[in-house]
Chains A and B, each alone.
Chain A
Amino acid sequence: GAVVSQHPSRVICKSGTSVKIECRSLDFQATTMFWYRQFPKQSLMLMATSNEGSKATYEQGVEKDKFLINHASLTLSTLTVTSAHPEDSSFYICSARGTGGLMSYGYTFGSGTRLTVV
């Protein structure tokens, strides 16, 4: 089945530094990748949608200069949290959607990244 690998699973960083999170589709080509943020005891909130080779589309209220998304290939998308602050501490989850056929609705999720900014 479709597998999405997300790395790192946990990261602790100092305020003001930047953190990069990777999301890879291991056995399929992901034309579209999604980035979600989840606070404790809450649901997943979509941050942005990225299509390979084009700029990401950000949801309302999400700062594109703070959360940089790059989807340079059909198997890799990255989310960089720039100048991180404690309020950016959260659980970040990526999802990938493949091309055509049964995969067209096949959203596959990564295992998430717990970011703690100190």
Chain B
Amino acid sequence: GESVGLHLPTLSVQEGDNSIINCAYSNSASDYFIWYKQESGKGPQFIIDIRSNMDKRQGQRVTVLLNKTVKHLSLQIAATQPGDSAVYFCAENNAGNMLTFGGGTRLMVKP
């Protein structure tokens, strides 16, 4: 999702459901992508990454999908738990070898 001014888009899910967080990236030359989780007052925490020569990568309870044709990245969280509540950012490693962050999406998990 993209941020609009000072308002982060929010995804609200029920505990145990699956969550899908989307991200549109900007640079077709980006070769590496990362999803981060950020809790209030803390730095970003690495969740999962994917290189541009892949279209899917799975981790523990998380899956990242990459669609280079439309420059879209998604993060799927299976069996979402209250501890997953946080802000999630996608980031792209561009040709300058630095990370550019997306706007972020707030995930709220209802017990």
Contacts and interface: CB of A to CB of B under 8 A. Distances in A.
Contacts of B44: 44, 93, 109
Interface residues of A, number: 23
B102 to A, nearest CB: 7
Interface string A75-118: 00000000000000001010100000000010111111010000
Interface of B: 3, 6-8, 32, 34, 36, 41-46, 49, 89, 91, 93, 97-104
A42 B3 contact: yes
A107 B7 CA distance: 27
Contacts, number: 54
Contacts of A105: 32, 49, 93
A32 B98 CA distance: 10
Name the 9 nearest CB pairs between A and B, nearest first: A109-B43, A112-B43, A111-B43, A44-B101, A43-B101, A109-B44, A41-B6, A93-B43, A43-B104
Contacts of A91: 41
Contact of B98 (A40, A42, A46, A110): A46
